[in-house]
Structure 1
Amino acid sequence: MDRLAEIHLLSDGKLAAEEFVVLAAAVHPQVDYIHLREKKLSAQELYHLALILLNAGVPACKLIINDRLDVAMAVGAAGVQLAGNSLPAAAARLAAGCSLRLGSSVHSASESIDAASQGADYCLFGHVYPSTSKPGLKERGLTQLKEAVLAARTPVIALGGITPHNAPHVLQTGAAGIAVMSGICGAADPLSAARAYRNAVMEAAPEGGEKA
């Protein structure tokens, strides 16, 4: 039976820590994973923010730490998202074993193949549409996303400029889910925005699809 596509919420580094904690605690029932993507924070600061999120009610099974494998393991997070300058996926898998869900950020079909061969559990592919987080960089589009989906031996999550309106087009490529930053973090009403994404994913699901 088909499973409902995943929704990953990524922090955008623009909200104050207190604001993001309130937002995450409110919207987590509408999303499958919450990524702490705070590139300016030290490992210690990231660790403390993760603990605050957990204490605010965000389930550990939904928490993914960007880049920092050590922090993800220390707080008992569900997974770690590896970027281009992170540990290689193979090294992270060796260190973490099967205890963490391992994501790898990719930008092409060949990179998705490499990530899967190194033990990544999923690939985060971007950016699909023009994105405010990547100003001046040309989007990769649905064609390249579909190429990555077909090439990968692991689920592909699409990122970049995805809205509730275009999410069905993204999922028609075979992507296993969508990732959102400003669409929720920058919304005037983040909870309503998260619900709109959830409704879009549910409406795009094949008949008989169910939540993972």
Structure 2
Amino acid sequence: MSRRVVVLTDRTQVPAGRSLRDVLAAAADGGLTTVLLREVDLPDDERAKIADHARTCGLEVVAAHRAVVGCSGLHLPSGSALPAVATRWGRSCHDRADLLRAAADGAWWATLSPYATTASKPGYGPPVPAAAFAQAPLPVLALGGITPGNAAAAREAGAWGVGVMGAVMRAADPAAVVAALLEAAG
């Protein structure tokens, strides 16, 4: 993960009249360099096509849950087994203990969520305390409810960067939202 803003995909949040490919291209135009490809309900060949398109936009692609050919890494769900093959990998975490386990298991990064109340996952749970981001044992992306308005606060709390889904997927102007996030997150 090369930048402090990573966008997670969710094609179900993309407004009518636009495609996930459109959003990825616009996000790249806004300065995004890394995308975490979710779409875990799709077959692997469909996910590979999305990853190929993202790479043509200049994006580094990290696959969620299971490997996708050509992706630079793998992001695993909380509590999942370690990857069978050597690769850069991260893990979804939901508290400080999860972060410590991810670091001990050899993760290169983690997401810690939810940072704030999130429209993408209503009722997901209370936000993690800001103190959970302080002095983390590995690079941590604050995830959940991240917007240009709170990205700087997440970094000030100790997050290495931010992971964003809904604010970009649902945006009328994904490039502008990404540019604002990059400015806020440093």
Distance (whole Å) between structure 2 residues aligned to residue 121 and residue 113 of structure 1: 12
Distance (whole Å) between structure 2 residues aligned to residue 84 and residue 173 of structure 1: 22
CA drift of 1:135 comes to 1.0
Tell me if structure 2 keeps the 8 A contact 1:67–1:83. Answer: yes
CA drift of 1:199 comes to 1.6
Distance (whole Å) between structure 2 residues aligned to residue 123 and residue 38 of structure 1: 19
Q: What does the per-residue CA deviation read over 1:59-105, in whole Å, with 9 as the maximum and x for residues that have no partner?
A: 4xx11111112x2xx22x121110137x41xx31xx332xx321100
- The runs of at least 4 consecutive aligned structure 1 residues that moved more than 3 Å come to none
- 2:163 is equivalent to residue 179 of structure 1: yes
- 2:71 is equivalent to residue 96 of structure 1: no
Could you tell me which amino acid in structure 1 is paired with residue 147 of structure 2? T
Which of 58, 79, 100 is equivalent to 1:113? 100
- Calculate the TM-score normalised by the size of structure 1: 0.77
Q: Within 5 A, what are the aligned runs for 1:1-212?
A: 6-14=4-12, 15=14, 19-28=19-28, 30-54=31-55, 56-59=56-59, 62-69=60-67, 71=68, 74-75=69-70, 77-84=71-78, 87-88=80-81, 91-92=82-83, 95-97=84-86, 100-141=87-128, 143=129, 145-150=130-135, 152-202=136-186
What's the secondary structure of 1:129's corresponding residue? coil
Tell me if structure 1 keeps the 8 A contact 2:146–2:167. Answer: yes
Tell me if structure 1 keeps the 8 A contact 2:133–2:158. Answer: no
CA drift of 1:148 comes to 4.5
- Calculate the TM-score normalised by the size of structure 2: 0.87
What's the secondary structure of 1:22's corresponding residue? helix
Aligned residue pairs: how many?
Answer: 181
Distance (whole Å) between structure 2 residues aligned to residue 33 and residue 5 of structure 1: 7
CA RMSD of the aligned region, Å? Answer: 2.1
Distance (whole Å) between structure 2 residues aligned to residue 128 and residue 138 of structure 1: 10
CA drift of 1:191 comes to 0.8
Higher-helix-fraction structure: 1
Name the structure 2 match of 1:205: none
What's the secondary structure of 2:11's corresponding residue? coil
Q: What does the per-residue CA deviation read over 1:90-125, in whole Å, with 9 as the maximum and x for residues that have no partner?
A: x31xx332xx32110000100110011111001100
Could you tell me which amino acid in structure 2 is paired with residue 63 of structure 1? V
Distance (whole Å) between structure 2 residues aligned to residue 58 and residue 5 of structure 1: 13
Could you tell me which amino acid in structure 1 is paired with residue 74 of structure 2? V
Kindly name which structure, 1 or 2, has the bigger radius of gyration based on alpha carbons: 1
What's the secondary structure of 1:96's corresponding residue? coil
Task: Name the % identity.
Answer: 28
Tell me if structure 2 keeps the 8 A contact 1:25–1:53. Answer: yes
